[in-house]
Every structure is written in structure tokens, then in C-alpha cells.
Amino acid sequence: MFLEVNHVTKAYGQGDSRVEVLRDVELGIEKGEICVLLGPSGSGKSTLLNIIGGIDHADQGYISINGEKTVQMNEKRLTEYRRRHLGYVFQFYNLIPNLTVKENIEVGAYLGEPRRGRVYASAEDRRALDVEEIMHTLGLYEHRHKIPSQLSGGQQQRTAIGRALVKNPDILLCDEPTGALDYATSKEILKLIEEVNQKYGNTVVMVTHNDAIKDMADRVIKLRDGRVRSNRVNTQKIQAGDLEW
């Protein structure tokens, strides 16, 4: 397996206020898959995504990505690993308000750069993608000089995807990427994530509480009360544009 979660446990609080959010979670995801983490609020899916991304730490267990265990990395190495190999798409965009679309995307390229003074990693490090190509792929080229306040919600999310994608990460982590969008725009963003996966081959791990989105995934993992209830390969996958809810 390309991405492995090995007996991960996570709790918050102490004593009587202690809440166990993840309970001995174990799962695997193949390279290039679109994987949906599905479950109700409080099921632990966002916490699991944050642990996969190195934003949070497991109390027990570990994450292995392409054979590398994040638990064995010091903070400096973990920060470098996040920057070079992981891309994040959040529900509320988190764009820099005074930067243009193009500049917001370029920020992702700088964050992915392992050595000072260069925008892109070398081919042996990781192929960075061309910013102009990204903007054309995401339908943003004509908006490239606009700042976030001049964009619709869908255009802002497209920009956030571009920022995450420009360093060509091994894994694209999406935390409720359609949660703040209307139905039509949500479907546009899901189609875009699907296109990005097909075009660039990035592994996609997407958290959602929307049951319909599971049908576009290669793998569906359902969580409840901090435990994996099912982990199945979707043999009846449909295109994102055909989803209905």
C-alpha cells in the first residue's frame, strides 16, 4: 500500500474530560486512488486527515507514506515532508486576501521548494507544475489578476486547489472541499478534483459527510465513533458530473 495508517489512536483532554477521537484505526490506500473518508460529525475523519498530513500527531500508531514513517521524522524533517509531498484543500479556502489568483497559486510553489532561492524543485526532487498550465486547467486564467474578494466561492476554491496542486504533491488532502459551496458549484469542484487526479495521478484523500460523493471514489472508508466501520473498493464508480444528492 502507498499510504498506510497503522493502529492509530488519538484522544484529547485529560481525566473525566478525555475524549478518544480515533480508536486503533488501521487502513491502506493505493497510489493514485481517490479515497473518500465518510462519516457523521464527530466520527474522527478530519482528525485522521490531519494526522495523515502531519498537522496533528497520533498518541499511538503511525502513518507510512511510500515506506516513510512520519513518526520517525523530527519536526524539521516533517515540515519539509509536508511542504514537498502533501497538498491541502480546506473548506474555507484560506487564500491570502491581498494576493492575486496567480500569486496565491505561486505561494504553493514556494512552499514546496526544498532549497532557498528557487521556485521549483528539481526533477529528481518532485516535478513542480507550471503555474500557467494550472490556471488553464482550473479555468482561472482569465481571473489571474483578481484578488480573492473579486472571486466567487467556486473560483476561490479552484484557486485553493491550484495552490495545493502546483508543487505536484504525492497526496492531495481535501477537508470538506464542497462544504461551503452550493450544489452546482460543488459538482464543478468535484469534477475538477476528478480531472486533477486523472491528469496528474495524485492520490486524493477527501473528507466528507455527503454520502453521494462516495460514488465517485475508488475507495470508500466509513468511520463512526473513531473506528473504521468499512474499507471497500468501489466497483461501481461513477463520474463526478453524474452525482446527485
Backbone angles phi, psi at 221, to 5 degrees: -115, 120
Report which of residues 61 and 92 the model is more confident about.
Answer: 61
* Per-residue pLDDT at 71: 84
* Per-residue pLDDT at 64: 93
Using DSSP, state whether 26 is helix, strand or coil.
Answer: strand
pLDDT band at 22 (very low <50, low <70, confident <90, very high): very high
* Per-residue pLDDT at 83: 80
Is residue 116 over pLDDT 80? no
Mean residue pLDDT of the chain comes to 89
* Per-residue pLDDT at 111: 66
Give the residue from 222, 161, 167 showing the smallest Cα distance to 193.
Answer: 161
High-pLDDT (> 90) share of the chain, %: 71
High-pLDDT (> 70) share of the chain, %: 93
Give the residue from 4, 11, 27 showing the smallest Cα distance to 228.
Answer: 27
pTM exceeds cut of 0.85? yes
Q: CA-CA distance, 65 to 230, in Å (whole number)? A: 21
Is residue 126 over pLDDT 70? no
Alpha helices in the chain (DSSP H): 45-52, 75-85, 101-111, 131-137, 153-165, 183-200
Average pLDDT over residues 55-80: 89
pLDDT digits (tens, 9 = 90+) for 148-201: 999 999 999 999 999 998 888 999 999 999 988 999 999 999 999 999 999 999
